A and B are shown apart, each in its own frame.
Chain A
């Protein structure tokens, strides 16, 4: 497994004693850039690896991750062009995705 593998990074950060949030694509509708099961992992120091889209919603997911990091409560996020936030964080491809955020530990 190579240096692009997000779960390897997540484990390393965890072993360094850092807080880690794992974001996972759990559902897609229409044309979605990344398949179900794809991961974006976020470290407490702001570093992240992997992807849940083609870069369109990563910023929003990382923002939400800080809250999950604090509370420890998992969270489900939905992104799609139908959202009122479409111009900010919508998927330009016209798809819709559901992303599950959870803290490690």
Chain B
């Protein structure tokens, strides 16, 4: 591997930008291809690279008598939870068990305490301030469970614009239809609003906060793995 490539690769990964290392296995020459880069490769190899970047799946690709290895480096899933509530406490522990990064955000300092969320990053600030420092991306799942429109709505809108992998919001059908009205009034297109998963989580008839957290995590895993083409 080219030393310069290794440096550039680590920069892209640290910045949570998808990229691929393409190695010609016949002579060992390699290059870095960024998802939104200007150095787009044309033809079947280029298409295979783009597919690998979308799915996050690495593989060998044979073309024109040459054998390439495409190593897709896509950012790990990050979960941002708006609302440091009971469900979030359970979700934080489940996220740790399945090895996903999780951030808890809630401006209510009585809720957002490190004692309530051991081993997890907790941000006792308004979502707008948190998001300014930690922008959302397509490899992030946003879970809004504060149950307060003042806290939930702004990050939900931002998640829809950032095309987050998953956008879920807690609430009954009645609560959600009111939310849909508010977002529509704010000028959000219906097709974007319909991406919000609500009632949140897979339908496993979850009742307790921990069960709802399981349903939410199951839904996030489903969306993530279906994106991978599993």
Tell me the A residues contacting B by CB distance below 8 Å: 1, 7-8, 10-11, 14, 22, 24, 26-27, 35-37, 73-74, 76, 100, 102-105
Contact = CB atoms under 8 A, between A and B. Distances in A.
Given A11-B6, A103-B1, A104-B3, 4 more contacts: A7-B9, A11-B7, A27-B60, A35-B58
B28 A74 contact: yes
B25 A76 contact: yes
B72 A14 contact: no
B10 A36 contact: no
Given A11-B6, A76-B25, A37 B13 contact: no
15 contacts: A7-B9, A11-B6, A11-B7, A24-B71, A26-B69, A27-B60, A37-B58, A37-B72, A73-B28, A74-B28, A76-B25, A100-B69, A102-B28, A104-B6, A105-B3
Contacts of A22: 1
Contacts of B1: 22, 102-105
A1 B60 CA distance: 26
A7 B59 CA distance: 19
Main secondary structure of the interface of A (DSSP, over half): mixed
Contacts of B97: none
Given A36-B57, A74-B28, A8 B3 contact: no
B14 interface: yes
A22 B69 CA distance: 14
Given A27-B60, A74-B28, A14 B71 contact: no
A26 B25 contact: yes
Given A1-B14, A100-B23, A37 B71 contact: yes
